[in-house]
Amino acid sequence: MGWMVDETGLDKCTANYVPLTPLSHLQRAATVFAEQTAVVYGSHRATYQQYHARVTKLASGLASIGVMPGDVVATLLPNTTAQIEASFGVPACGAVINTINTRLDVGTISYIFDHGEAKVVMVDTQFLPSVEAALTTMDGPAPQIIEVADPEAGYAASGRHPEYEDFLHQGDAGYTWVMPSDEWESLALNYTSGTTGRPKGVVYHHRGAYLMTMGTPISWRMTLKPVFMAIVPLFHCNGWNHTWMMPLLGGTVVGCRDISAKVIYDGIADEGVSHFGGAPIVLNMIVNAKTLHRRAFNHPVEVFTAGAPPAPATLAGISKLGFNVTQVYGLTETYGHVVESLWDKAWDSLPEVDQSAIKARQGVAMPMMDLTTVVDSLGIQIPMDGTTQGEIIMRGNSVMKGYYKNPEATAKSFAGGFFHSEDIAVQHPGGMMQIADRMKDIIISGGENISSIEVEGAIMEHPAVSLCAVVAKPDDKWGEVPCAFVELLAGKSATEAEVISFVRSKLANFKTPKRVVFQDLPKTSTGKVQKFELRVIAKKA
């Protein structure tokens, strides 16, 4: 018999075991980085001490109006002060934060309110009409509204609901945070477009978010006190968890309501922004910025890009401007990025075009993941030859708890003990993954996921339409846009403009097709539309 460790007296206790949670970062920063600037948005500037106090008042206020631990608090906010503070303030009272895409249509917002059972919703004045309309179509109890005005951006309070700053003023700065007793407790609920029109609710736990905040600084080569501009919407995977990460490093979060090349260059020049994340469309914006919007800066700016593979030409163009871009990959189900295009110094001597092509690869697993690889249909590792295709699968602490109220979809996604991404990729020698195609017919436009089935469903409601199929059409600005192929009913007519206008009346603008082609759809002998043929046509349409 082998030697056995005597475990007597080696139990977990409060001295040696504390549930992991990103909330602990801000509690520590309130003391360690008390006078360091924590949040900047417009004229608002707050130190960590002030940031902590405002977050505490928010948590107190939510508790005072009946929000209990485990309840859901939703937000429809741009990346302004209130959204940044809600990242901590909502879970600080034990609640689950549900950041909702501000670009969604009324019907989807209503569905999310019902499905997530939000008790409160914090909403920017700009999006108040959509929220008020959504509440009238709900099946269940409507959440209480806290309106967030932004006078500097031209959005004064409507006066119809309690306003955020007044709500904070009534909070108790001495309120004791409700910390998780188990790190598996739910922290966030994020809705993602899936293969059907109805979004699925992805549930995050405190442990996964904490480990994301610990692993990301390694991959992003971060040191203390970075200045981070929040360009990625916080309704996308909670901003890839970067707002939760900043207090860990004593960093500054620079809020960003509307994204433009001028705003980005101004943030870099005026605030010293050193890091930001963004979809390839943001990179294109910077590369193609007008001369009058460009600002000089003399420090390196680190950029994470994800959402769709960036074009090598874009990467080459932005690298000349003082930006170092790292391609990352992930999904809502993985808290954001969990794969990085890890650079090898040996590639420094390669021609620029080859370097950009390598940077466009999605990469290898980040430190917080256990295993991320590509397998064939039998779950067997594919050859790492850069040619053989398979599905990306993942395992690690930064994988969701599952889909809310959807055990069937959860079980399917976790089959075989891995999370199945349903993204098709090749692997290069050394393990670097590169996405080749998508099993899901999701269109990624400007970093937004669009369900082709949802768009098809809207088009099919048109009285002149017999059949339709929607695929991704490459677009220089947005990466991809929806392209619809439509068969009309005999004796009926419709124009491209009519179909686009019809869909726009039913769905968010970004989901509407940007091109409509009228033709017979290619089908198999069983009647299944052959979308691969349509994708070829869409490239030229």
Q: What is the pLDDT of residue 3?
A: 67
In this structure, is residue 33 part of a structural domain? no
Burial of 459: CB neighbours in 10 Å, binned 0-12, 13-18, 19+ = buried
In this structure, is residue 70 part of a structural domain? yes
Separation CA 72–CA 89 (nearest Å): 12
Q: What is the pLDDT of residue 438?
A: 64
Domain final residue, candidates 136, 156, 179: 179
Is residue 319 within 8 A of residue 353, CB to CB? The reply is: no
The separation between the first and the last C-alpha atoms of the chain, rounded to the nearest angstrom, is 72
Domain count, the chain: 2
Which CATH number characterizes residue 451's domain?
3.30.300.30
What secondary structure does DSSP assign to 505-534, as a single string? TTS-GGGS-SEEEESPPPB-TTS-B-HHHH
Is residue 337 within 8 A of residue 240, CB to CB? The reply is: yes
In this structure, is residue 316 part of a structural domain? no
Q: What is the pLDDT of residue 6?
A: 87
Q: What is the pLDDT of residue 194?
A: 46
Q: How many CA atoms lie within 13 A of 276 on its CB side?
A: 28
Q: What is the pLDDT of residue 389?
A: 86
Q: According to DSSP H, which parts of 117-205 are helical?
A: 128-135, 164-169
In this structure, is residue 267 part of a structural domain? no
Domain final residue, candidates 179, 212, 237: 179
Parent domain of 113: 43-179
In this structure, is residue 79 part of a structural domain? yes
In this structure, is residue 272 part of a structural domain? no
In this structure, is residue 164 part of a structural domain? yes
Is residue 482 within 8 A of residue 443, CB to CB? The reply is: yes
In this structure, is residue 165 part of a structural domain? yes
Containing 23, the helix (H) or strand (E) segment is helix 23-32
Q: What is the pLDDT of residue 526?
A: 45
DSSP-derived letter for residue 155 is: B
Domain final residue, candidates 128, 147, 179: 179
Which CATH number characterizes residue 109's domain?
3.40.50.980
pLDDT in tens, the chain (541 residues): 566 788 898 999 999 999 999 999 999 999 999 999 999 999 999 999 999 999 999 999 999 999 999 999 999 999 999 999 999 999 999 999 999 999 899 999 999 999 999 999 999 999 999 999 999 999 999 999 999 999 999 999 999 999 999 999 999 999 999 999 999 999 999 998 644 458 999 999 999 999 999 999 999 999 999 999 999 999 999 999 999 999 999 999 999 999 999 999 999 999 999 999 998 888 888 988 888 899 999 999 999 998 766 766 778 889 889 999 999 999 999 999 999 999 999 999 999 878 878 887 899 999 999 999 999 999 999 999 998 989 999 999 999 999 999 999 999 999 999 999 988 889 999 899 988 766 656 788 888 878 777 788 889 889 898 888 999 999 988 999 999 999 998 899 999 999 999 999 989 999 999 999 999 999 754 456 788 889 999 998 8
